[in-house]
């Protein structure tokens, strides 16, 4: 029988259920004692990730991110912070002895979201995906009970791939906001006009750009899948993102690598039962 969330969710858990449902599903497969710590971590990520979407000026966004840096100073000093996400995050930090460096990297890379321009090339896109995906998954694996070099090996591959996959699936969402997270040089090479993309009328070359990024993400997922055995079984639930990511890339491929088509013909929803099956067959 698959794990189920509590009937009454904590504030962090409810935030994750609403705004990061994929990670919510993976978290309920974690050992019960660490589940709330994972929800606190993921809720923190939601807080910083939405900064670029909710602020009207870069300076306001920088102030919001700085608030989290200052809050982490207090949490690592053992001070209580009366905030719905910060308070349980402090408990997670203390319980799992989480590395402050990972939090700093997550916040620093979110400053890119305050700039409306796209990544200049694939290397810049990869750096952004790595910066948003790798530290977060490393922290989650640590919370779940992972130890040693295996954490970083899995987190770097799977975290980066998950971030890339999410950016591809979110192309229509970002286009409506007149934002873009695809490499500008590749779009130019394929003759993709950014203005037309923002008008929801992408040029045909878009699918080639998306396909190239997607295949890179898939390679990372498959590499991570091979290294997952280096983690204790109790610590593997955050890495179920590997199976979800491969599932979403398969949906994108069926849509001809066109995120706009995928949006009009939503892919199959990955259910808790489906994730449980993957967990069992992959021996997570």
Predicted confidence (pLDDT) per residue in 69-127, tens digit: 999 999 999 999 999 999 999 999 999 999 999 999 999 999 999 988 899 999 999 99
Count CA within 13 A, CB hemisphere, residue 253: 12
Alpha-carbon span 141 to 120, nearest angstrom: 31
pLDDT at residue number 284:
55
Percent of the chain with pLDDT over 90: 82
**The pLDDT of residue 269 is above 70:** no
The pTM (predicted TM-score) of the whole model is 0.92
Here the tokens at position 254 are 């069926």
Predicted confidence (pLDDT) per residue in 52-64, tens digit: 999 989 999 999 9
Q: Where along the chain do its domains lie?
A: 7-115, 116-284
Q: Which residue has the tokens 């620093």?
A: 108
Alpha-carbon span 201 to 203, nearest angstrom: 7
Alpha-carbon span 35 to 96, nearest angstrom: 12
Question: 116-284, superfamily in CATH?
Answer: Farnesyl Diphosphate Synthase (1.10.600.10)
């Amino acid at each position: 029988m698959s794990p189920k969330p509590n009937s009454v969710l904590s504030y962090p858990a409810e935030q994750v259920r609403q705004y990061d449902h994929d990670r919510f599903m993976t978290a309920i497969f974690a050992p019960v004692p660490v589940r709330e710590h994972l929800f606190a971590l993921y809720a923190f990520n939601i807080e910083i990730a939405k900064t670029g979407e909710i602020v009207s000026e870069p300076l306001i966004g920088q102030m919001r991110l700085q608030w989290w840096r200052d809050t982490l100073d207090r949490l690592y000093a053992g001070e209580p912070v009366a905030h719905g996400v910060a308070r349980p995050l402090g408990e997670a930090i203390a319980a799992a002895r989480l590395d402050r460096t990972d939090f700093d990297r997550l916040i620093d890379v979110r400053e890119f979201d305050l700039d409306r321009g796209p990544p200049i090339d694939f290397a810049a896109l990869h750096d952004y995906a790595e910066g948003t995906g790798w530290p977060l998954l490393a922290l989650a694996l640590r919370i779940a009970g992972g130890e040693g070099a295996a954490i970083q090996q899995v987190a770097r591959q799977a975290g980066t791939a998950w971030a890339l996959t999410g950016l591809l699936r979110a192309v229509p969402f970002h286009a409506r906001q007149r934002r873009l997270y695809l490499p500008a040089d590749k779009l130019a090479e394929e003759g993709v006009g950014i203005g037309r993309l923002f008008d929801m009328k992408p040029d045909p070359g878009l699918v080639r750009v998306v396909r190239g990024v997607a295949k890179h993400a898939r390679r990372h997922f498959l590499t991570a899948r091979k290294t997952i055995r280096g983690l204790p079984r109790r610590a593997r639930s955050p890495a179920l993102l590997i199976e979800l990511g491969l599932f979403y890339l398969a949906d994108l491929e069926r849509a001809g690598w066109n995120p706009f088509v995928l949006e009009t013909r939503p892919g199959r929803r990955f259910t808790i039962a489906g994730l449980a099956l993957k967990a069992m067959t992959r021996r997570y």
